[in-house]
Amino acid sequence: MSMYFRESYHTDAAPQAIGPYSQAVRAGEAIYISGQIPLDPATMELVDGDFRRQVEQVVTNIEAVCSAAGGTLCQVVKLTVYLTDLSRFEVVNEVLDDFFLEPYPARAAVGVAQLPKGAAVEMEAVMHASGLEG
């Protein structure tokens, strides 16, 4: 294990890594959660449904990784959202409002040309780990 982080986290409740990376790693009091796309963890396929359903799956995947690290979405302090169509950002806002409580995490939104597996949305997160074992 790298001397720069103490622990990595894994859960079958979120999609398996599709490359040489961890679902999340801890460095000091921060847990860095790798980008999640709307994959169903059971099938490793993009979820069926509209864009709202896809965003919900992304947040559900992040929530599962938070749980594997011993935390919750309430401890997420930063989200980065990648969208292939920035005109869909209002739907992202609506879904995030359903999952997160105030004070909301800091956030950035980035328009991108393409995402893995043809996804329309990806999010990565940073969770504050104070008080968690590790």
The dihedral built from the CA positions of residue 17, 43, 120 and 97, taken in this order, carries a sign that is negative
Q: Are 82 and 122 in contact (CB under 8 A)?
A: yes
CB 14 within 8 A of CB 34: no
The model's pTM: 0.92
Residues β-bridged to residue 30: 27, 128
- CATH superfamily placement of domain 7-128: RutC-like (3.30.1330.40)
pLDDT digits (tens, 9 = 90+) for 68-118: 999 999 999 999 999 999 999 999 999 999 999 999 999 999 999 999 999
Q: Kind of pairing, strands 30-36 and 24-27?
A: antiparallel
* Backbone phi, psi, residue 77, to 5°: -105, -15
What does the pLDDT look like over 37-55, one tens digit per residue? 999 999 999 999 899 999 9
Domain layout of the chain by residue ranges = 7-128
